[in-house]
């Protein structure tokens, strides 16, 4: 094999390796919860804004839809962007960390009870095991919150839909009554004319009977 051919093979292998890395990263991001931006960016909870920028820049270049043919590349890229946006937003990041701290407190209470009951050995809150379990609990809490939010929205939408249907029925009922009143008014003249004609006919009938009665000779 010539030097030129060897270089071509090396470039091909490097390209395939890069594509494999891109696909692997897309699949890694897609396997993670969107509620955990730290995991998506592969960053610790103590990361700085600069760390977030660097991680996003590196990963966005790797999984950009223009750089890989993976079917989920675009969605993975959108998740990556969302994670970066959330961690660069001070209020959002503070909210996430507050919920993580809450998850840690709840987990510490649960594990302490398990230690006291003999179900678990002593644990360290700064251990990787505890950190991992705390993040899992954080995601479970956030999923529950999101589920409750969606249920509330669903109920509100159902209530709004019922109210809208009621208003629509009320509008239809008002229209129906207006139409009936209008139809009644429109036929008023027709009813009056019919009554007048009936009265005239009745009078003629009475006169006719009276005339016949006068013309008939009385019997002696």
Render pLDDT for 163-215 as a digit per residue (tens, 0 to 9): 888 888 888 888 888 888 888 877 777 777 777 777 777 766 666 666 656 55
CA separation for the pair 111, 169 (Å, rounded): 57
Neighbours of 76 (CB within 10 A): 27
- Domain presence at residue 10: no
42 with 65, same domain? yes
Note whether residue 5 is domain-resident: no
Residues 94 and 173 in one domain: yes
Task: Among 40, 55, 88, give the residue marking a domain's end.
Answer: 88
Say yes or no: 136 and 75 in one domain. no
**Residue closest to 136 by CA, chosen among 32, 46, 9, 22:** 32
Domain endpoint, select from 88, 103, 128? 88
**96-138, pLDDT tens digit by residue?**
999 999 999 999 999 999 999 999 999 999 899 999 999 899 9
Per-residue pLDDT at 145: 84
Is residue 30 domain-shared with residue 103, that is, in the same domain?
no
Per-residue pLDDT tens digits for 48-106: 999 999 999 999 999 999 988 899 999 999 999 999 999 999 999 999 999 999 999 99
The pTM is what? 0.59
Whether 212 is in a domain gets the answer no
Same domain for 114 and 66: no
Query: In the prediction, which pLDDT does 72 show?
Result: 95
CATH assignment at residue 29: 1.10.287.110
Domain that holds residue 37: 17-88
Q: What is the Cα–Cα distance from 91 to 75, expressed in whole angstroms? A: 25
Does one domain contain both 49 and 127?
no
In a domain, 214, yes or no: no
Averaged pLDDT score across all residues of the chain: 84
């Amino acid at each position: 094999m010539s030097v030129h051919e060897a270089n071509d093979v090396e470039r091909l292998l490097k390209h395939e390796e890069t594509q494999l890395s891109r696909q692997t990263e897309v699949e890694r991001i897609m396997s993670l919860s969107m509620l955990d931006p730290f995991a998506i960016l592969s960053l610790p909870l103590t990361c700085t804004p600069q760390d977030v920028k660097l991680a996003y820049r590196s990963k966005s270049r790797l999984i950009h839809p223009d750089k890989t043919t993976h079917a989920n590349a675009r969605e993975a890229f959108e998740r990556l962007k969302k994670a970066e946006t959330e961690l660069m937003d001070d209020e959002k990041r503070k909210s996430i960390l507050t919920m993580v701290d809450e998850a840690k407190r709840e987990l510490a209470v649960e594990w302490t009870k398990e230690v006291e009951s003999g179900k678990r050995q002593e644990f360290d809150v700064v251990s990787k095991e505890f950190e991992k379990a705390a993040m899992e609990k954080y995601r479970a809490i956030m999923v529950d919150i999101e589920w409750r939010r969606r249920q509330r929205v669903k109920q509100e939408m159902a209530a709004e839909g019922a109210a809208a249907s009621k208003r629509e029925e009320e509008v239809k009922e008002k229209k129906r009554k207006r139409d009936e009143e209008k139809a009644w008014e429109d036929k008023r003249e027709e009813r009056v004319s019919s009554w007048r004609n009936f009265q005239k006919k009745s009078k003629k009938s009475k006169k006719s009977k009276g005339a016949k009665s006068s013309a008939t000779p009385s019997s002696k």
